[in-house]
Amino acid sequence: MAHTPLLPQSFQLASDEVHVWTVALDVTSETSADLYATLTREERDDVARFRFERDRQRFIAAHGALRDVIARYLETQPERISYAYNAFGKPALGPEFDGRLKFNLSHSNGFALIAITADSDVGVDVEHVRAHADFAAIASGFFSAAEVEHLTALPSPLCAEAFLSCWTKKEAYLKASGEGLAKPLNRFSVPLTSDCETPAYFYAASADIGPAKRWSLYTLKPAPDYIGAVAIEGTGWRLRQQPWTMPDAPSSSYSGLRARMTN
């Protein structure tokens, strides 16, 4: 499968594509101000709850970038985007957008991933690699027996990456299915090999009821010392990645650019 870059201003989404936007969260003060201006009152309240300025700025960048990406697909202004949430907190576009896109966001430390599809459930997770954590002990409490056995058989230098590859796939699937941590991580196993070129597949039933669905899982390495994963219902997907950047306009004209996008 070709790993085809998106054109900088190409926001067309084919029905068999999943687009993954990689976002570096340590942005300039001008970019942060532009993104903050698009957030809702509730999102700004969330910003204010962070104790440290760096965490506030990274939250602004992640959620502002999500609004910018969605807005450019829908050809509207970022501040007009509204969300609705299921019983487990999974976000979706508000009813006025009539389900025109599915999306998911994950951020860790200074990096975020945004996944976009046309109409299939999608989840994404990204984690920063921390080499000195006791991954075997964590896995024993959260992973299935098969996953724990695989992890403990690995040489120590490989444990961090293997653990986070498994963790992110499980988290991405739970976010895609809309169940969140209502479904314990040790109640299901994910395939332990996959990459951005060749997905792994597995079957799972949401809430352990109804027929099992087939899911595609991709492992991503979006930046040094980060591991991510995408889970999307079904098979035959074309995965495309692109770094997110602000529209090519100075800060003072960003709102004007957004207005032109809706014409």
| Residue 149 vs residue 126, higher pLDDT | 126
**109, part of any domain:** yes
Q: What is the pLDDT of residue 256?
A: 37
Strand partners, 115: 20, 104
Q: What CATH number did the domain enclosing 45 receive?
A: 3.90.470.20
**11, part of any domain:** no
**1, part of any domain:** no
**19, part of any domain:** no
User: How many folded domains does the chain comprise?
Assistant: 1
Q: How far is the C-alpha of 215 from the C-alpha of 218, rounded, in Å?
A: 10
| Residue 211 vs residue 78, higher pLDDT | 78
pLDDT digit string (tens) for 106-127?
A: 999 999 999 999 989 999 999 9
Q: What is the pLDDT of residue 137?
A: 84
The string of DSSP letters for 5-33 reads PPPTT-----TTEEEEEEEE----HHHHH
